Amino acid sequence: MERSNKLSKNEKLKSKKAIDLLFSKGKTIHIFPIRAIYKQKELATQIPINMSVAVPKKNIKLAVNRNLLKRRMREAYRLNNHELKTHLQKTEVELNMMFIYTAKQILPYKEIEEKIKVILTRLIELSEVVGE
């Protein structure tokens, strides 16, 4: 199987119902400056993980800066999600998740990428416990 780093349209979490369920019943991993909320999917869709990003207007006022941070988080996720995807496919677990940026200042890409890597490895460890 050839490894693809593409973040396709059907991997994005867009359903309002799924997002509301995520916030009401999801579990959280918080590694400053990023909080990840995740929940196992109700229905199987053959897509191992649906993901979304958010940067609150309360913390980052300018839209250009919010968009910059969203791009950085999406890119860090896109480049580092392969291990989590393959693990979820093996264990036949499917997740919905959202990354929320919690810092009040703009941090460099490297720092954001490191935190997302930590969150993804934590999710692998947690799905090993849940999946079995």
Task: Render pLDDT for 32-90 as a digit per residue (tens, 0 to 9).
Answer: 999 999 999 988 888 999 999 999 999 999 999 999 999 999 999 999 999 999 999 89
Domains in the chain: ranges and CATH: 28-131 (3.30.230.10)
pLDDT digits (tens, 9 = 90+) for 12-27: 999 999 999 999 999 9
pLDDT digits (tens, 9 = 90+) for 41-57: 988 888 999 999 999 99
What pLDDT was estimated at residue 64? 98
Q: Note the residue count of the chain.
A: 132
Res. 132: pLDDT tops 60: no
> Which tens digits make up the pLDDT trace of 92-123?
889 999 999 999 999 999 999 999 999 999 99
CA angle, 34 as apex, 33 and 38 as ends, to 5°?
Answer: 160
> Could you tell me which residues come within 8 angstroms of residue 49 by beta carbon, excluding any fewer than 6 positions away?
11, 81, 84, 85, 88, 94, 95, 96, 97
Q: What one-letter code names the amino acid at 87?
A: H
